Structure 1
Amino acid sequence: MPKLALFALLALSLMVLEVACSAQMLSPPERPREFRNPSELRQYLKELNEYYAIMGRPRFGKRNGPAGFSDYLSPSDWEDIQTTQ
């Protein structure tokens, strides 16, 4: 049983690594030099829309740490608070 769980974990890790390291996921679609027909233009615009839909998503929670009280004050305000205490 532990060997099966270890194998499943290894397989899952490899799949996640494959998706995470895929360079194609992060690159915009290649623009043809010339669009020969409307369907080619439509396909390119569809791929471009999908790219910007993924890249333009807001990424909440990706900051270095929680915002503290000092993050909302200017440096001079923070110095004034420290000297008065």
Structure 2
Amino acid sequence: MCARKTYYIFVKATDDRQFCAIRQDQPIPQMIDGVQWMYVSCIDTSRDKPFGFDVDAAHEAMRHRGVYFYRRELMFRRTNFLLEAA
């Protein structure tokens, strides 16, 4: 088990809001080919909190599937001419 819970983060080439995380101590699945999924960064969940990343869901996904998928989406609405996060 990876003590620091470090994950490699990949982004889907056709959807820049779709991400995939793989714990550093696990093998990289064949679907991560550098074409459809591209490496973005490495995060340490003890200090990094990427938007949309759920540490508990990532841990559970790694136990069952060996990969964690998540989305980063920002929703904005117009109220009195100011943009606010929804």
Q: Same fold (TM over 0.5)?
A: no
TM-score, length basis structure 2: 0.17
Higher helix share: 1
Larger Rg: 1
Where relative contact order (Cα < 8 A, 6+ residues apart) is larger, the structure is 2
Q: Which structure has more strand as a fraction of its residues?
A: 2
